[in-house]
Chains A and B, each alone.
Chain A
Amino acid sequence: MVTPDLSVRLGSLRLRNPVLTASGTFGYGLEFLPFLSLEEIGGIVVKGLSPKPRKGNPPERIVETPSGMLNAIGLQNVGVDAFLAEKLPELRRHDTAVVANVFGETIPEYVEVCAKLDAAEGIAAIELNVSCPNVEAGGMAFGADAASLARVTRACRDATRLPLWVKLSPNVTDIRETARAAEAEGADAVSLVNTYVGMVVDVERRRPVLANGCGGLSGPAIRPLAVWATWQVSRAVAIPVVGMGGIASGRDAVEFLLAGASAVQVGTASFVHPDASVRIAREIGSWLAGHGLASVREIVGTLRTGKEERR
């Protein structure tokens, strides 16, 4: 049996295999070195970076839910300068694509981080987290409507030549609209989904469990929602789609690939099994081999809904 070719292309960026790790679930990558080799995955997306270090939200920050978890970490991070000075040089010793996840509370903050990353060596792409509240626009998330998403995408596009991915929030009426806005303003790819907003109540205390009140839902609980969003978006835009949400096995990843994702990200699963991303990449290979397929690229977007035959 031939070993299937797992390499994929996202615009100008070539990845060894379609599995990346999702932002906020893989630290700065180095924390995982006891458990896996970064050379066995397509790449890593680091924890969201802001212009200055951020302290994050008070605890409680997380709570388990049926087949998932809710988090309100509050984007605690070391800041872009410390990342570039302390983490990136270490990461560059490993042959893997490093994608920098970026957020800000204002458009100039996004631009500042993008410009600093652009000037650095060793960043494969920038992923914009647009689920952050827009302080200038009264705290509504940048990703909540197509117009503000368009503005932040354009500003960052003008600040960097690096491949620019926009990570879409699923907390919108029609995710295809924000996807099209990202494409129109020069994004090289869209990634989706970020977490779904939810709440868990402590009925004895009559309070939300999380200090922040609400939090973002991730894990297998959101997988069908995320597959659906991936399928919708992949038919609405021509740029590559990176899919994620509850992926815990190679089969889960194949769902996203069939639904139109050119690559996938693994998030919450890495908390439970630190080597999950590597295992998932291998399982995609076995699945392809088991189906006599030579390349993962053959299956991207080949989902059949049955409706096309009936038409």
Chain B
Amino acid sequence: MPRDLSVEIASHRDLGGGNHLLEVEAAPLARETAPGQFFMIGFPGADTLLRRPFSVCGLPGTFDGSSRSAVHVLYKVVGRGTEHLASRKPGSPLSILGPLGRGFDLELGAGTEALLVAGGIGSAPFPALAAALGARGIRCTLLYGARSASDLPLLDWFRARAPEVIVTTEDGSAGTRGLVTDPLRERLARGGNVRILACGPNPMLREVAAIAREASVPCEVSLEARMACGFGVCLGCVVPTRRGEGGETAYERVCVEGPVMPAEKLAW
């Protein structure tokens, strides 16, 4: 059950490239949040009206040295709200509503390998996810694509924690030059019992979903949409979905039926 908490920033790290890792102490959220779920974060005193949605990035145990009530959010400065947030120092108050939405399916079944596909800041939900899958003995490979080397936040964390990390950048400043979908295609060509879990910009997700479909590999995507409330009442954050092959389309809420949705149900 979601709750609305007043918290203080416990730590706040500038990771470069406009990316920041925010930590708050919120025991109920640390207990109840599942990888892929998100929070609506409000900045008291800011001149923005609505809260902003952010995925859970870290739960207790994800990052070394964090407490049993620690919750982490990884975000990129893209506009007024995130710019304001980046100026906040430890001790500064935030309101945080969560946990919200539907997270990733963690029941992958023995022997399934998880292919985590991230586009830039889309890696945000993956530390908590990789930690949870790792704890279940599921092998994770991270395919991490971005525009350039500075857009790969927490790459070192992933390298230390995931058995395999494949990096692509559009400008070739890190990893292989190209798009993250290139190594994804190669990996799928090798076959095996895999499942894709993807988060990133919509065009990337659409491409990943198409590749997964072609290879008949199950795929979940974590979506973004403008939202006002985050708990299902404003109906602002909908995406078109389809019930069954060739079925009727409907609009479903990213905040309740998502943000993680099976790719095959999206009508994009």
Contact = CB atoms under 8 A, between A and B. Distances in A.
Interface in B214-268: 225-229, 231-240, 249-251
B27 interface: no
A265 B51 CA distance: 21
Interface residues of A, number: 33
Interface size class of B (residues with CB under 8 A): 20 to 34
Interface string B112-146: 00000000000000000000000000000000000
A25 B225 contact: no
Contact of B4 (A60, A220, A273): A273
Interface stretch (A66-74, A123-131, A184-192): A66-74
B48 interface: yes
Main secondary structure of the interface of B (DSSP, over half): loop
Contact of A271 (B1, B2, B234): B234
A31 B256 CA distance: 11
Contact of B49 (A32, A76, A272): A272
B4 A26 contact: no
A25 B239 contact: no
Contacts of B225: 59
B240 to A, nearest CB: 7
B240 A58 contact: yes
B251 A56 contact: yes
B50 A272 contact: yes
Contacts of B228: 62, 64, 69, 71, 268, 271
Given A55-B251, A271-B233, A62 B4 contact: no
Chain A interface mostly helix, strand, loop or mixed? loop
A220 B238 CA distance: 24
A219 B95 CA distance: 19
Residue of B48, B49, B95, B97 ringed by the most chain A CB atoms within 10 A: B49
B185 interface: no
B68 interface: no
B200 interface: no
Contacts of B3: 34-35
B36 interface: no
Contacts of A61: 226, 235-238
Interface of A: 24-27, 31-32, 34-35, 47, 55-56, 58-64, 67-69, 71, 73, 76, 219-220, 268, 270-275
| Closest 3 pairs between A and B when the two form their complex, measured CB to CB | A62-B236, A27-B233, A271-B229
Given A55-B249, A60-B226, A62-B228, 17 more contacts: A24-B234, A25-B233, A34-B3, A55-B251, A56-B235, A56-B238, A58-B251, A59-B239, A64-B48, A64-B228, A69-B50, A69-B228, A71-B228, A219-B49, A268-B49, A272-B51, A273-B95
